[in-house]
Each structure stands twice: as structure tokens, then as C-alpha cells.
Amino acid sequence: MKSFLQKLPFLGQCIALSFLLCVFAWLSLFTWSIIPISGTQALSALTSPNPNNIAHRIILDLRLPRVLIAGTVGACLAVAGAIMQGLTRNPLASPSVLGVNAGAALGMATVSTVAPWLGVFGTSVAAIIGGAITWSLVMILGTAWRGGNEHGRLVLAGVAISALCAALTKAMIMLYEDQAVGVMTWLAGSVADARWSDWQPLWPMALFGLSAAFLVGPTLNLLNLGEDSARSLGVKLGLVRMICSVLVLILVGAALSAAGAIAFVGLLVPHIARALTGQDYRKILPLTAIMGATLVVLADVVSRAIIFPMETPAGAIIALIGAPFFIYMVRSKTS
């Protein structure tokens, strides 16, 4: 299937993958429900909703926001990973490896334990601020702002800062035990509790972040040529770094406050997109968005199926696929 997709022109790839996304989304609307729902009911709920029909109510109130949030979160995280890889020219860069997830998690845990009255908006802002702090720290420690090209150093900085944030987050949970379950679920990364109220703050940020991200594609292509050549071709490096960082933080902040710390999407998906389309970020970014959405929607379906009727966090399913892929990638880069 991979080689079939590779042979397709770019637009064909987009259409084929979008079709796949729609199929998974449709499955996600009706499968693994305690009250049996049919595939046709899933469609009729969307086209002619009937508030007295219990299946329609489940689909519209629970399943639809869940699948929309899963897809959007997947797209945001994957695109954030692609931008980070382009910006640092580091194949291991992603929100989870470079500490943005851990920082956002810490910010989130701090607000939801110390100041829970701040609500959904407060935790989103805390996630963005936490992510911003760790991202800047990692980039400074990894010398990536000054044109340093020490890939190992950047990843080391990310791992160290992530560990520090994780320790602080755990301490926070222990100190404020009454909020612990919510934070733990959130840390595992899950869309099981996704409701329309989570969709409201997510979609405007995601819409803005994703559409702006597609516009930095051509510049990421030039960065890929090395800093000196990029500058010689007229790229304003400082400005580009600033814009890309802000975009990453918006995308990660939006995704994490809606679904928690889903790791590996940002690392995994850009590499699959690259394998399909080559090194052109004008194509990588849209493909990454579609595939990121597909991956998280699929993982969410699987997370319900594994020990039905219990739920496994979708983040755990992705880590299960992501971790071996990560090891494979590190091995193939070093050999």
C-alpha cells in the first residue's frame, strides 16, 4: 500500500488519505458502543438528526465531538512536529522529544491543581506558557538559536528538561491528591472524555495554527539548505524562528489542552509524510495534517476495542506503535 501511495501524485495522495480518514471517522462514530449502533444510523444522525433517537443522541453528543477532537488534535501535533523538524533540521525533533509536551503538561497540572477555578481557558493558557518556557530553554541549551548544529545536544536538552518537568508534575499530583485522577488521565493522553465544550476553544486555535503553518512550508524548504545558504537566499532567520515557535506553541497548546499529552504523533507522522512525498514542506505539511488526524482517530477506535467496554487511553496505543518506530529510526540514522 505504501508503494501504491508513493506512486500517486500529491493531490491523489491527499484524496486517498482523506478518504481513509473519513472511513476511520465513520467507524469511530458507531463501533464499540454498549448500545448497538449501525453504520447507517451513524450517517443518518449527521444528515437528519432525531433528538428522540437514543443512537442519534450518543453519536451527536458523545461520538461526534470525540472524533472531531481526535482528528484535530492529531493534525495539530503532527504539523507541530513537522515544523520543529524543519526548523531544527533534526529528525528527532517533535513536541514530546524536545520537552514542549512535558512543559505544557506541567503548566496544565499546576493550574488544575493549584488554581482549578481558572477552568478550560486557564489550563489552555497554562499549557502554552509551560510549553513556551521549556521550548525556549531546550533551544537555548541545545544552542539551536545561534545556528548550532549539534543534533545530539538539542535532543539531550529536550530529554533532560522533559524529565525535570515530569518530576515536578508528579510532585504536584502528590501534593494535591484530590485532582490527581484528572491529571493522570490527561497525562496519558485521551479523547475519551472529549465533549463539545472542549471543541469550542480547540477549533479556532487549530484553524489558525494549521492554516498559518501551511504558509511557512516554502521557508522551511530553504532552511533545509543550511543556515548560511538560507540567509544568502534572503531568509530572515530570526523572524522565521520566532514565527515557527509561536505556531508550534499554539498547535501544541491547543491539542494538549483538549486531549492531553499524546506523544509520538509529532515524531512519527512527518517521517511517514516524507517517505511518501520527499523533502518538500509545501507537500509534507498538508499530508502530515491528514495523516496525523487519521492516526489519532484510528488509535481512538483501537483504544475502545482493546478491552471493551473499558477504555485504554489513545495516547498509550500511539506510544505502543510509536516507540518501536522511534527505535527503528534512531538505528537507521546512526548506521
Partner 1 sequence: MSLSTHNLSVGYHDHVIVKQVNLNIPEGKIIALLGPNGCGKSTLLKSLARILKPMSGEVRWQDNNLHTLPANFLAKNLALLPQTQPIPEGISVRDLVAYGRSPYTGFWGRLNAEDKRIIQQVMQETEIIKLADQWVSELSGGQRQRVWLAMTLAQDTPYLLLDEPTTYMDLSHQVELMHLLRKLNLQGKTIITVLHDINQAARYCDHLIVMKQGQIITQGSPESVLTKAMLKDVFALDAQIYQDPIAKTPMCVVE
- Per the structure block, which three cell numbers stand in for 30? 458507531
Q: Count residues binding partner 1 (CB under 8 A).
A: 21
The residue (of 177 and 331) whose beta carbon lies closer to partner 1 is: 331
Query: Could you count the other beta carbons within 10 Å of the beta carbon of residue 185?
Result: 16
The residue (of 204 and 278) whose beta carbon lies closer to partner 1 is: 278
242 is a contact residue toward partner 1 (CB under 8 A): no
Q: Let me know how many helices (H) and strands (E) the chain has, helices first.
A: 16, 0
CA distance 307 to 286: 34
The residue (of 115 and 275) whose beta carbon lies closer to partner 1 is: 275
Q: Tell me the closest approach of the beta carbon of residue 208 to partner 1, in angstroms.
A: 19
Q: Tell me the closest approach of the beta carbon of residue 281 to partner 1, in angstroms.
A: 10
Assess contact for 39 and 311: CB atoms under 8 A. Answer: no
CA 95 to the chain's CA centroid? 8
Assess contact for 13 and 1: CB atoms under 8 A. Answer: no
241 is a contact residue toward partner 1 (CB under 8 A): no
Q: Enumerate residues 6+ apart whose C-beta is below 8 A from 296.
A: 70, 71, 73, 74, 77, 191, 259, 262, 265, 314, 318
The residue (of 84 and 252) whose beta carbon lies closer to partner 1 is: 84
Give the x/- contact pattern for partner 1 in 245-284, rule: CB under 8 A: -----------------------------x---xxx-x--
224 is a contact residue toward partner 1 (CB under 8 A): yes
Distances in Å between the Cα of 217 and the Cα atoms of 79, 210, 213, 272 are 11, 11, 7, 17
143 is a contact residue toward partner 1 (CB under 8 A): no
Q: Which of 25, 67, 188, 235 binds partner 1 (CB under 8 A)?
A: 235
The residue (of 39 and 218) whose beta carbon lies closer to partner 1 is: 218
Burial code of 261-295, b = ≥16 C-beta within 10 A, e = fewer?
bbbbbbbbbbbbbbebbeeebebbbbbbbbbbbbb
The residue (of 225 and 302) whose beta carbon lies closer to partner 1 is: 225
Q: Tell me the closest approach of the beta carbon of residue 286 to partner 1, in angstroms.
A: 13
Torsion of CA 62, 187, 143, 132, to 10 degrees: 60
Q: Tell me the closest approach of the beta carbon of residue 223 to partner 1, in angstroms.
A: 10
Give the x/- contact pattern for partner 1 in 61-100, rule: CB under 8 A: ----------------------------x-----------
Q: Which of 233, 242, 305, 327 binds partner 1 (CB under 8 A)?
A: 233
Kindly list the residues in this chain that would bind partner 1 in the complex (CB under 8 A). Answer: 89, 215, 218, 221-222, 224-226, 228-229, 231-236, 274, 278-280, 282
